[in-house]
Chain A
Amino acid sequence: MKNQILILVGTILLSWPASSVIAQKWPDGLEVMQRIDENMVSENQVVESTMIVHGIRSSRTITSRGYMVGAEKSFSEYLSPPREKGTKMLRLDDKLWIYSPGTNRVIQIAGHMLRQSVMGSDLSYEDFTEAEELAEAYDCTVIAEEQVGARPTLVVELIAKRADIAYAKRKVWVDSKRWIALKEERYARSGKLLKTTEITEVFKVEGRWYPKHMIFKDVLKKGKGTEFIIDSIKFDQDIPDFLFTKAALRK
C-alpha cells in the first residue's frame, strides 16, 4: 500500500522527462524532469510511512512498510491498526494482488474493483497500477513560474502523447531550487479536474530532497483528502526477489 503510494508519488515526482516547446525564459520541460530524476531516482527504496484517511466523521491512521524496485514492482505490508495489520499488497506492472490475513486469501484486484478506494482513502487501486514513465507518456512544457508557499516553482504542463494515457493532462509545480514537485493536478479528457496532490513538507535524505508530507485529494469527493507521511526511507537496499511474488503475500 505504502509502496504503491510511493510508486505513485515517485512516478509523479521522479520521472518527468519532457520534450516540448521551450518557453523563452523558462527551462525546457524535459530538463526540469531530468533534474527531478537526478534528485530522486534510486535503484530501490524501503519506506515506512503513515497514511491518515480523513473521513466525514473521523480519521483513520494506517502505517505500513513498503519495498519498491523501479516503477514496476512493489510490495507493501500494513503494520497498524490491528484490524489491518498483516494485510499485504503486491504490484507487478499493472497487476495488483491483495492478501487479507482475516480470510487468508489472495485476491487480484481487477475490473470494477480497481475503482474502489484503498482503505477509504482518496486513492483508488487504479492509481497504483500506473507504471508508465510520465516522460514517455506526456509532452512536458514549462508554462509559468509561481510561488507555492514560500518556494519558487516552475509550472509544468503535461499533455498525453497517446489516447490510452490515464490522465489526458497534468500540471506539476516543481520547486526550481530543490527540483522536487510540490503540487500536482490531474485532469480528465474533458478538462475537468479530478485529483490533486500537495507536498507540504520535504526533507533531505542521503543528499536528496524527498517529499515528507503529502495530501492526496479526489476533487470529486467530499472530505479533506488523504495525508501521506514518510516516516523513514532507505535507498538502494538489498531486497530479495522473492518478495515480489504472490507466494510472499502469505508469508
Chain B
Amino acid sequence: MVILKLAYRNLKGAGIRTWLNVFVLSLAFLSIIYLKGLYNGMQDQSIRISEDTDMGSGQYWCAIYDPYDPLSLPDAHETIPEVFNPLISSGVITPVMFYQGAIYPDNRLKNIILRGVDPNQQVMNIPTSELRVESNEYLPIMLGHRMAKSINVKAGDIFTLQWRDGNGAYDARDARVVAVMTTTNSTIDIGNVWVDLALLQDITRLENEATLLIIDKSYSGELPESEWEYHSLFALTKDIRDMVEMKSIGGSIMYGVLMALALLAVFDTQVLSIWRRRREMGTLMALGMTRMTLIKLFTLEGGMHGFFAVVLATIYGAPLLYLNSVKGLTMPMDVDNFGMVLPQTLFPEYSVGLILGTIIIVLITVTITSFIPVRKLAKLKPTDALRGKMS
C-alpha cells in the first residue's frame, strides 16, 4: 500500500511527462478497441446480411453446384428431391435456381445469372413478391439497384433476355424490369437477374429443378437427409470470416505500431527516471527499503501509466466509441468493391470481452515494458546510489 501511494505521488510529481505518456498510451489503447470493434461489427453485419438475404440458416446444394467453379454452373440444376416437399410447402425451405443468360439493355450484351425464386417465399428478405406479375408479352424480372445502375435501366424498362434452354437451344424474349430492389447484399445484386422460379423452369424446360435450397433462418427443427449436400450458415460464411480475419491482421500491424510507440515512451521514461532518481533510490534503500521493493515501486510507477491510460481513454473515448457504434461509420467509397457483403455504413461492435481483453493486454505489456529497465536495480548498491552512481 505504501509503494502504491508512493508510486502515485511520484507519477503525479513527474507532471506533464506522465500525462503525455498516458495520453499517447490511451490513444493506442483506444485505437485497438476501435479497430477491433470495427472488424467485429463488419463481420457480424456481413454475416447477418448474408443470412437475411441469401443464405438463411443453411443451404442444400445439388451435387454439381460449386460456387467456386463457374464452369459447373451450366449444369448446376437437378430435380428437387421429394423429401424436401413438406418443408418447401410450409415455407421453411425455398428453392432457387441459378441459370446463365444474357441481357441486351440498349442493345449491349451483358452476361448475367438468372436467379429463379418463388415470388411468395419468405425465407430471403428481398421483395420477390414484385415478381407476381402475369404477362404474355414479356418476362417480368427484378434487378438490384447496383445492377440497374450499372446497365442504366429503371423499373418499367424492356430489353431482350437471351438464354439456352435445358436442351441447349437458344431462346430469347423481351423482359420487363418490374422492380428494382435496394439491397445491402451486392452478391445477389451485381450480375444477377431475378425471375419467377416457375417461369424460369418453364422457359428452360427444367421442370421442378433447382440449384440450391435455402432454409429459413428461424427454423430450428430437424432437416431431412438427402443426396443434396447440406451447408450450414457457419460453413457458408467461412469466406466472410476469413476475409475479416485477413483485414484484421492488416489492421493489427497499425495498432501494433501505435502500441510500440506508446510503450517506447514508457520505456524511455523509466530509463530516465532511474537515472535521475539515483540519490532518491539510495536514500530509500538507506532507510530500509529492499531492492525488491524498489523494483516493485518503479515497475508499479511504469505500470500505472497503463492504468491511467485506461481511465483517460474511458473518459474521452467512451462517449466517442458509443457515438460511433450508434451512428455508424459511413464508408466514403463504394463498399461493393471490397469483395464481401458489406453495408455502406458500418456499425462497430464493442463487446465486454474485447474491452477487458484489451485492458489486460495493455496493462501487462506496459508493466513488462516498465520492468525491463528496472531489472538493473537488483544489483544497485545503496552507497553508489547515494553518491549518484549506478553500478
The count of chain A contact residues (Cβ–Cβ below 8 Å) is: 24
Smallest distance from the beta carbon of B108 to chain A beta carbons, Å? 7
A143 to B349, CA, bound (A): 73
Smallest distance from the beta carbon of A186 to chain B beta carbons, Å? 8
Cβ contact within 8 Å between B168 and A220: no
Cβ contact within 8 Å between A221 and B107: yes
Chain B residues with CB below 8 A from A110, complex form: 71
A163 to B170, CA, bound (A): 10
Cβ contact within 8 Å between A188 and B71: no
Cβ contact within 8 Å between B100 and A220: no
- Chain A CB within 8 A of B216 CB: no
State which of B126-134, B157-165, B206-214, B265-273 sits at the interface with chain A: B157-165
Most A Cβ at <10 Å: residue of B72, B106, B162? B162
Chain A residues with CB below 8 A from B172, complex form: 188, 190, 192, 194, 220
Q: Which residue of B100, B106, B109, B160 is within 8 Å of A117 (Cβ)?
A: B109
Question: Chain A binding site: helix, strand, loop or mixed by DSSP?
Answer: loop
State which of A13-21, A38-46, A165-173 sits at the interface with chain B: A165-173
- Chain A CB within 8 A of B171 CB: yes
Binary per-residue interface labels of chain A (195-220) against chain B in the complex, 1 for a CB within 8 Å, 0 otherwise: 00000000000000000000000101
160-189 of chain A: CB within 8 A of chain B: 160, 162-168, 186, 188-189
Chain A residues with CB below 8 A from B205, complex form: 163
The A/B interface has a contact count, at CB < 8 Å, of 72
Chain B residues with CB below 8 A from A115, complex form: 100, 102, 111
A189 to B167, CA, bound (A): 11
Chain A residues with CB below 8 A from B109, complex form: 117, 218, 220-221
- Chain A CB within 8 A of B388 CB: no
A163 to B171, CA, bound (A): 12
Cβ contact within 8 Å between B167 and A111: no
A166 to B172, CA, bound (A): 12
Given A111-B71, A221-B108, A222-B108, the answer on whether A167 and B169 have CB atoms closer than 8 Å is yes
Chain A residues with CB below 8 A from B107, complex form: 220-222
- Chain B CB within 8 A of A112 CB: yes
Chain A residues with CB below 8 A from B74, complex form: 111-112
Smallest distance from the beta carbon of A19 to chain B beta carbons, Å? 20
Given A115-B111, A190-B173, the answer on whether A166 and B73 have CB atoms closer than 8 Å is no
Chain B residues with CB below 8 A from A117, complex form: 109
A168 to B70, CA, bound (A): 27
Cβ contact within 8 Å between B169 and A168: yes
Cβ contact within 8 Å between A188 and B70: no
Chain B residues with CB below 8 A from A166, complex form: 164, 168-170
Cβ contact within 8 Å between A190 and B169: no
Given A167-B169, A189-B169, A190-B172, the answer on whether A220 and B70 have CB atoms closer than 8 Å is no
Smallest distance from the beta carbon of A89 to chain B beta carbons, Å? 18
A222 to B109, CA, bound (A): 9
Cβ contact within 8 Å between A163 and B167: yes
A220 to B107, CA, bound (A): 6
A202 to B104, CA, bound (A): 33
Chain A residues with CB below 8 A from B167, complex form: 162-164
A190 to B165, CA, bound (A): 11
Binary per-residue interface labels of chain B (169-181) against chain A in the complex, 1 for a CB within 8 Å, 0 otherwise: 1111100000000
Smallest distance from the beta carbon of A124 to chain B beta carbons, Å? 9
Chain A residues with CB below 8 A from B104, complex form: 220-221
Smallest distance from the beta carbon of B99 to chain A beta carbons, Å? 11
Cβ contact within 8 Å between A112 and B100: yes
A190 to B170, CA, bound (A): 9
Smallest distance from the beta carbon of A22 to chain B beta carbons, Å? 27
Q: Which residue of A162, A165, A167, A188 is within 8 Å of B162 (Cβ)?
A: A188
Smallest distance from the beta carbon of B174 to chain A beta carbons, Å? 8
Cβ contact within 8 Å between B164 and A111: no
Cβ contact within 8 Å between B100 and A160: no
Cβ contact within 8 Å between A194 and B170: yes
Most A Cβ at <10 Å: residue of B74, B170, B172? B170
Cβ contact within 8 Å between B169 and A192: no
Binary per-residue interface labels of chain B (76-110) against chain A in the complex, 1 for a CB within 8 Å, 0 otherwise: 00000000000000000000000010101011110
A220 to B167, CA, bound (A): 22
Cβ contact within 8 Å between A164 and B70: no
Chain B residues with CB below 8 A from A190, complex form: 171-173
A188 to B73, CA, bound (A): 22
Cβ contact within 8 Å between B73 and A220: no
Most A Cβ at <10 Å: residue of B70, B71, B107, B172? B172
Chain B residues with CB below 8 A from A112, complex form: 70-71, 73-74, 100, 111
Given A189-B165, A220-B109, the answer on whether A168 and B170 have CB atoms closer than 8 Å is yes
Smallest distance from the beta carbon of A250 to chain B beta carbons, Å? 22
Given A111-B71, A194-B162, the answer on whether A188 and B102 have CB atoms closer than 8 Å is no
Chain A residues with CB below 8 A from B173, complex form: 188, 190, 192
Nearest CB to that of A220 among chain B residues? B104
Given A111-B74, A115-B102, A221-B109, the answer on whether A164 and B169 have CB atoms closer than 8 Å is yes
Nearest CB to that of A188 among chain B residues? B172
Chain B residues with CB below 8 A from A163, complex form: 165, 167, 169, 205
Smallest distance from the beta carbon of A170 to chain B beta carbons, Å? 11
Nearest CB to that of B173 among chain A residues? A190
Query: Could you give 14 example pairs across A and B, Cβ below 8 Å?
Result: A111-B74, A112-B71, A112-B73, A117-B109, A163-B167, A166-B168, A166-B169, A166-B170, A167-B169, A167-B170, A190-B172, A190-B173, A194-B172, A220-B172
Given A160-B169, A190-B171, A218-B109, 5 more contacts at CB 8 Å?
A111-B100, A163-B169, A166-B169, A189-B170, A222-B106
Interface residues, chain A, with chain B CB atoms under 8 Å away: 110-112, 115-117, 160, 162-168, 186, 188-190, 192, 194, 218, 220-222
User: Top 8 A-B pairs ranked by shortest CB distance?
Assistant: A222-B107, A111-B71, A164-B167, A188-B172, A189-B171, A163-B167, A220-B104, A192-B172
